[in-house]
Amino acid sequence: QVQLVESGGGLVQAGGSLRLSCAASGRTLSSYIIGWFRQAPGKEREFVAGIRWSGRNPYYADSVKGRFIISRDAAKNTVYLQMNSLKPEDTAVYYCAADYGGFIAPMTPDYWGQGTQVTVSS
C-alpha cells in the first residue's frame, strides 16, 4: 500500500509559479510511475505529468509542456511538480498518483492522494 500526501497548493497570480510536493510512504516506489492529475471545476480529472521513480521518461500533457516540470527525490520519497507561467486555466485540485506497471502512458493510478487546491487569479 502506498500513501500519498500532497502539499504546496495555494493562490497565485497569473504568470507566477508554484511548487507542489507529494510525499510518498508505505513501501518501495521503485516499480511505480508517479504523477499528477488535476480536476478543474466542471471538468473531469485529467492527466498532467508523470515520471518513473528512476527519474526516466518524464512526460506531460500538451497543456502544460514547457511550463511544468515533474521531478522526484528518491532520498526524500517525494515527487515535485514545479509549475511556472501559471494561467487561470490551471486552476484545479491537483492530485498525486502512483501507478504500478511498466508503461508510463497511459497512466492508470492504483493510489491517489487527497488533493491540493491551486488557484490562479487573473
Give the strand order in the sheet containing 68-73.
3-7, 18-25, 78-83, 68-73
Average pLDDT, the chain: 94
**pLDDT exceeds 90 at position 28:** no
For residue range 43-71, what is the model confidence (pLDDT) as tens digits?
Answer: 999 999 999 988 888 999 999 999 999 99
Q: What is the pLDDT of residue 1?
A: 84
Could you give the CA distance from residue 8 to residue 18 in angstroms, rounded to a whole number? Answer: 7
Residue 47, pLDDT score? 96
Closest CA to 121 of 27, 31, 18: 18
Q: Does residue 120 surpass a pLDDT of 80? A: yes
Whole-number Å distance between alpha carbons of 41 and 45: 10
pLDDT at 103 (0 to 100): 77
